[in-house]
Amino acid sequence: MSENLKFAVIGGGSWATAIAKMLCVNLSEIAWYMRNDAAIEHIQKYKHNPNYLSSVEFDTNKLKLTNNINEAIEYADYVIFAIPSAFLDAELKNLTVSLSNKIIFSAIKGIVPETSLIVGEHFHIQYDIPYYNIGVITGPCHAEEVALERLSYLTIACGDPDKAKVVAKTLSGNYIKAKISDDIIGTEYAAMLKNIYAIAAGIAHGLGYGDNFQSVMMSNGIREMKKFIKKVHKMKRNINDSAYLGDLLVTGYSVFSRNRMFGNMIGKGYTVKSAMMEMSMVAEGYYATKSAYKLNQGYGAKTPIIDAVYAILYEGKDAKTVFKKLTESLD
């Protein structure tokens, strides 16, 4: 079905690299936009991304590499965005070509700060793209495990199931299994929220809490996620499905989780700035925490874990004191 369709990947980070790797298995050519000219030259010469997932080797004959976002988008029928949500609006301001005839899929797990919208809603409201042309690529999956060719699972959500099937088929392979969902808003909010709970898990670990407490917090986290998503978009969904609970668990516990790593550093006493500088990578959950907290002022869901992470990251509260109080509200 997807043999005659053209795909473009927007972004140069680990998820963009992993998606490019998956697409190259089933397609003869893809367009790949990244801002970093040096990275483009390095990939063309040495066949791997020097900054992310450098073990992945590409057949450069399959890559149409460009530092021009308009060139990549003009090339494609399906455009997959895989850049940090904090930088999406700035990138989109460089567009001179229309998105109206494109099918947009987001692998971004966060909220656009400028509009306080999840990415699908941002494209729908700001660019008038119908929901049947917007989709989400979510987990449970880590880019690092894709690079290692370990069995990984994806959830592809779209208002049009046929388009979800196209993307699922194009990304699937020997070590990638993809299933489709019709819960485009719920899965995207879950992908954003689980990063906040992963930061909480990291903070707990950094403070010295053990596995017992973290299991209780993750159990509370999935129930908190259910309450939040139900307020945002009420529909029948099983919160224990892999797209929700599975993605939460892998992000909360994995050694590959940037958000858990970030939280662990905060728990050990790093400032937000110093933790970000040392990681040299974006922890989406940092930005998601502020957005989710502000959104929930209108929704009114009971979210003690999100509130605790917000208090530490944005109000400068002492992590040890905040978590001691949090332990009293969990069950």
Mind telling me the catalytic residues? Answer: 194
Residues in the chain: 331
Decide: 69 and 91 in contact? Cβ < 8 Å.
yes
Alpha carbon 280 to chain centroid distance? 17
Q: Does the annotation flag 35 for ligand binding?
A: no
Pick the closest to residue 309 from 188, 206, 185, 191 (CA basis).
206
- Cis peptide bond N-terminal to 140, omega within 30: yes
Question: Tokens 């367009």 identify what position?
Answer: 31
Neighbours of 89 (CB within 10 A): 14
Neighbours of 242 (CB within 10 A): 20
Q: Does the annotation flag 109 for ligand binding?
A: yes
Q: Can you tell me whether residue 303 is helix, strand or coil?
A: coil
Report the phi/psi class of residue 269: left, alpha or beta, with left for phi > 0 and alpha for psi in -120 to 50.
left
Pick the closest to residue 51 from 82, 14, 23 (CA basis).
14
Decide: 199 and 260 in contact? Cβ < 8 Å.
yes
Q: Does the annotation flag 49 for ligand binding?
A: no
Q: Supply the DSSP symbol for 35.
A: S
Q: Does the annotation flag 70 for ligand binding?
A: no
Tokens of 245: 């609970």
Dist CA 247 CA 47 (whole Å):
30
Binding site for NAD(+), by residue number, is 87, 143, 258
Q: Please state the residue numbers annotated as binding site for substrate.
A: 109, 258-259
Binding residues: 87, 109, 143, 258-259
